[in-house]
Structure 1
Amino acid sequence: MDKLVIPFTTRAEFQQHLASCLSRAEHTLQMFDPDYTIWELGSSATDAQLRRFLQGGGRLQLVAHDGRHVERDAPRFLRLLKDYSHLVEVRRTNAQLRQLTDSFCIADQRDIVRRFHADHFRGEAVFNGPAELQTSLERFLTIWIESGAGLYANSTGI
């Protein structure tokens, strides 16, 4: 399959491309969003996709500024974190990173769905474009290294 770049501007398009990205993931999912408010992490469809991915041995890395939305509104996702704690790592950004406002999901270092600003839906999905993901992969690694542990007791801590 050739590289596919698809711009989007609506919530529905974002959700559609994110679902495609999740369904294509086999080995790694690397996600960053300020608070995951519009990601629908608690939906049954997303739960099913993430469980399939994790049952296959995939590893999920998730970073956020704030986890209150997830803790309050995504009980399915919190159960998933508990069920697959050995394959999921959640981190929370430190104060120096709180100005970051983009949002993205990278699957297998090959596919990405990114919004240029978390307050807007404008973004792009890139499938089978590993060369186009290099900057985003480096950005995620930097965010990851600069963030702290996010799992505390019974809450996500993100």
Structure 2
Amino acid sequence: MASERLLTSWSEYETAVGQLLPTAENAIAIFDRDLASLRLEKPGHHQALADFLRRAPNVRLRIAVQSAQAIRTHSPRLMQLLQTFAHRFQLVEVPPHLARLSDSMLLIDDASAVVRFHHDHPRSKEILADADACSPYGKRFEDIWAEGGTPISATTLGL
């Protein structure tokens, strides 16, 4: 059943993310400043991502961030998933000219989403099972993704 609701607190936002992640079957797309508010290192969120990546060979997790520094230094679980599932999981730091973007989005299977209007505030919209309502956000994510950026690797290259 399709629905939309406004989220106004960080606890509502975190609950929505926690409920949405385990529902992913084919694709997860995330755009965020640095993933701090999504709390993907939290055991329940991490487990949902790990289960998703193990589900089938054709699943796809794409994450675009404005700054990857915090992920590299404070997200060991996420980096481990990136190392283990590099063939299904892409993490990109977007180019500097996208630094002015202030929204954040978590898209699940092009049909459900949690969209935060400004990365500093919890005010968000949760969309459940409504591909038409998610379509503009999917297009926005694809436009951001098409800008390229620096791929983040979980392995250190060296001599």
Give the match for residue 16 of structure 1: 15
Q: CA 1:127–1:74 in structure 2 vs 1: closer, same or farther (change >3 Å)?
A: same
What are structure 2's unaligned runs of at least 5 residues? Answer: none
Tell me the CA shift for residue 6 of structure 1. 1.5
Tell me the CA shift for residue 149 of structure 1. 3.4
Equivalences for 1:1-158 in 2 at 5 Å? 2-57=1-56, 58-152=59-153, 154=155
CA contact (8 A) 1:41 1:70 kept: no
TM-score, structure 2 normalization: 0.92
Tell me the CA shift for residue 69 of structure 1. 1.6
Tell me the CA shift for residue 147 of structure 1. 2.3
CA contact (8 A) 1:43 1:74 kept: no
Counterpart AA for 1:9:
T
Distance 1:74 1:153 in 2: 11
Q: Calculate percent identity across the aligned residue pairs.
A: 25
TM-score, structure 1 normalization: 0.92
Distance 2:40 2:76 in 1: 9
- Aligned residue-pair number: 154
Tell me the CA shift for residue 27 of structure 1. 0.2
Q: Classify the secondary structure of the residue corresponding to 1:118.
A: coil
Q: Classify the secondary structure of the residue corresponding to 2:101.
A: coil
CA contact (8 A) 1:28 1:108 kept: yes
Counterpart AA for 1:31:
I
Kindly report structure 1 stretches of 4+ aligned residues shifted beyond 3 Å: 152-155
Q: Classify the secondary structure of the residue corresponding to 1:13.
A: helix
CA contact (8 A) 2:82 2:154 kept: no
Tell me the CA shift for residue 153 of structure 1. 6.0
